[in-house]
Amino acid sequence: MNQQTFQLTPQRCLQQCNMSEIDSRDVHAPPCWINIQHRDSVTLQAVLESISVHPLAIEACLDTTPASLLAAYGKSLFIAFPLNATWNAKERTYLWIICQPGVIITISETRIPALEQIIERYSSGGMRFHGENTSAVLYQILDHIIDEDMAFTLKTRDQIDQMEQLLESDPDDELLEKAHPLKRQLTRLAAAFEDQLYCVSSLQTIESESFSVTDLYDYFRDAFLHLEHASRVIGRQLAHLSAIEQQYQINLQSKTNNQLRLLTIISTIFLPLTLITGIYGMNFRYMPELAWHYAYGGVLLLMVAIAGGFLWQFYRRGWFQ
């Protein structure tokens, strides 16, 4: 289990400290952030019990089938926040967040770039939190995760634009091969945004000993609006992608129709010619035309005239356009 422990300094930055300092802290101690990346449930449970996390919150963290959740258990506010750790992630990742008086705990099973960015930026003193409390840390965590998700939506937009250009220039079967996985990814992003919206909107109405947005309401409201915008963007991208797939199918059907039209023209022209050939290919003894000196040339001219007549009619009706 990888664990990092930080205290908020009076300058609203992060300063690394030991876990022992958290255990012996008093009510006037600065707020703390504990970031845990775990694979061992037994060790995780022992750490959470040592800092008096509510048993129900611990049980929610250890759940093998996590789902989006925001619940208050005594002095512990538990949040299961869905996110997309990487662009091509096949499964949804969760960040478990536990808010307690003066302490915020983040728990994940894999590395989360957004948390690493916060630690790097706010430990160097180059950036400061909006307040000296755990709510300010939570806001930055949510804001960085939402920014990462927005970057994914911009990436999907670029891919959809490339697909649209491919549709206009030289559409082929690769278009659908690219569209199907992209559509699945967009659907996963849309589902994650819906659950994130639920969590962020619920946070704006919670007032407890362990969490309060009184001084940061505008910031959490801004995060909520960003999520709403991201959800609308994903919805438009899904509609755009569906339109591209539909247009591809229309183009493919049009191409098939053109091929069938060509085959129809060829069949229509050669049908009477085949009939004439079949008639004069019969081995009857008495066929008067066979004794005519110009019969061969006349029949050929008749066949050319019939073919030319059909071609002229098809051209007039626009079948070659």
Does any domain span residue 219?
yes
- Count structural domains, the chain: 2
Per-residue pLDDT of 163-212, as tens digits, reads 777 777 666 666 767 777 888 888 888 888 888 898 888 888 877 767 77
**Given 200, 221, 250, which residue is the final one in a domain?**
250
Does any domain span residue 133?
yes
Beta carbons within 8 Å of 295's beta carbon, 6+ residues apart: 289
Does any domain span residue 119?
yes
Average pLDDT over residues 282-306: 81
Average pLDDT over residues 113-127: 86
**Same domain for 149 and 297?**
no
Which pair of structure tokens corresponds to residue 82? Answer: 């869905």
Which pLDDT value is given to residue 98?
Answer: 92
**Given 250, 269, 284, which residue is the final one in a domain?**
250
Which pLDDT value is given to residue 170?
Answer: 65
**Same domain for 237 and 286?**
no
Residue 123 pLDDT exceeds 90: no
* CATH code of residue 299: 1.20.58.340
Does any domain span residue 321?
no
**Same domain for 138 and 29?**
yes
What pTM, to 2 d.p., does this model score? 0.74
**Same domain for 240 and 264?**
no
**Same domain for 237 and 264?**
no
Residue 69: DSSP 8-state: E
Q: Domain limits at 283?
A: 256-316
**pLDDT band at residue 260, thresholds of 50, 70 and 90?**
confident
Beta carbons within 8 Å of 266's beta carbon, 6+ residues apart: none
Give the dihedral of Cα atoms 276, 279, 281, 284; nearest 10 deg: -150
* CATH code of residue 130: 3.30.460.20
**Same domain for 203 and 264?**
no
Which pLDDT value is given to residue 89?
Answer: 67
**Same domain for 310 and 207?**
no
26, 47 Cβ separation under 8 angstroms? no
Which pLDDT value is given to residue 28?
Answer: 67
pLDDT higher for 92 or 87?
92
Sheet (strand 76-83) strand order: 14-16, 2-8, 32-37, 103-108, 93-100, 76-83, 69-73
**Same domain for 69 and 106?**
yes
Does any domain span residue 205?
yes
Does any domain span residue 76?
yes
What is the chain's mean pLDDT, rounded? 83
Q: Helix or strand or coil: residue 74?
A: coil
**What distance in Å separates the CA atoms of residue 248 and residue 175, rounded to the nearest whole number?**
8
Does any domain span residue 194?
yes
253, 201 Cβ separation under 8 angstroms? no
**Same domain for 268 and 239?**
no
**Same domain for 116 and 149?**
yes
**Given 198, 224, 250, which residue is the final one in a domain?**
250
**Same domain for 47 and 193?**
yes
